[in-house]
Structure 1
Amino acid sequence: MTVDIDAYLNANFEPHHREIFESLRELMRRHAPHAQLVISRGSPAWTGRGLLAIVSRSKTHLTLAFGRGAAFTDGHGLLEGTGKTTRHIKIKRVEGIDQEAVADYIRQAVMLDGR
């Protein structure tokens, strides 16, 4: 079953979260053009051979989690988490997105995915 991502966002994301998501979506389009945007585990996610990144929401922020983020080189110092595989960043405002860092993380996710 194909889910209309925009309809999903309109139904489930607050306007300020949609603005953040659209900025992330554009970064993914530029740096992971082959990634497919899907709904995974009830959240928007980008997949290649495996899960590249997934976005979850809370009342105060969006979390962008990278499925293999623990293997990233984090020269930006923004990744959080202590699990064996995933790392994430929390984004409260669209102006708070570090475009350079997120682009770097996306490129690393694609590289680790084998694309």
Structure 2
Amino acid sequence: MSDKTEKAAGAFNEQQSDITAAFEGFLQDRVLPQYRDIIDRFVEQATVEEPEMRLRMRGGTARYYSVPVFKLARDIVAISPTKSGVTFSFTAGAAFTDPFDLLGGDGKRPRTIRVSDETEYLADAMAHYLRQAAILDRNAIRTKQQTGIDGSTRDA
């Protein structure tokens, strides 16, 4: 391994360690004990369904605490705990098909799913939404690469 590659790998591993520590701190500080299994189940499923997705912590200000998100090129789903459950907010959820009729919200882009009990967690539905989120994100990347900033199509 070259010095550059070794240095990059070390920086990546350090960054992943920081993210893991921040995520563990988030679970302990912000998630009620009865909802931690829901988040653990989703994180495990997300990494299996879409191994290219990466977990990161987003945000964090004096008013708002940071939340974990999964991303490919962009953030595709955020995990937000509340006193009554866990909300999964899919950034492009408005474009999803919803055969499970679980998506809530009426914004231009995001849709949410609230889970209040682990028995309500529908793995098949979450897999469906995770796959759609990844497909839409990958398609957006391809479209961006094929068009100019002004939206004109680039010559192939």
For Structure 1 versus Structure 2, the TM-score category normalised by the shorter chain is over 0.9
Which stretches of structure 1, 4 residues or longer, exceed 4 Å deviation after superposition?
none
Rg (Cα) greater in structure = 2
**Alpha-carbon displacement from aligned partner over 1:34-65 (angstroms, at most 9, x marks no partner):** 11111113111101101110011110110001
Partner of 1:12: 30
CA separation in 2, counterparts of 1:82 and 1:44? 23
> 1:101 aligned to 2:125?
yes
User: Number of residues paired by the alignment?
Assistant: 115
Q: Kindly provide the amino acid, as one letter, of the partner of residue 28 in structure 1.
A: A
Shift of residue 108, structure 1, vs aligned partner: 0.3
Partner of 1:70: 94
Q: Kindly provide the amino acid, as one letter, of the partner of residue 16 in structure 1.
A: Q
What does 1:50-69 align with in structure 2 at a 5 Å threshold? 50-69=74-93
Unaligned 5+ segments in structure 2 are 1-14, 60-65, 140-156
Structure with the bigger percentage of strand:
1
Pairwise CA RMSD: 1.4
Whose RCO is larger (CA < 8 A, sep 6+)?
A: 1
The alignment partner of 2:125 has SS state of helix
Unaligned 5+ segments in structure 1 are none
% identical aligned pairs = 29
Name the TM-score, length of structure 2 as normaliser.
0.70
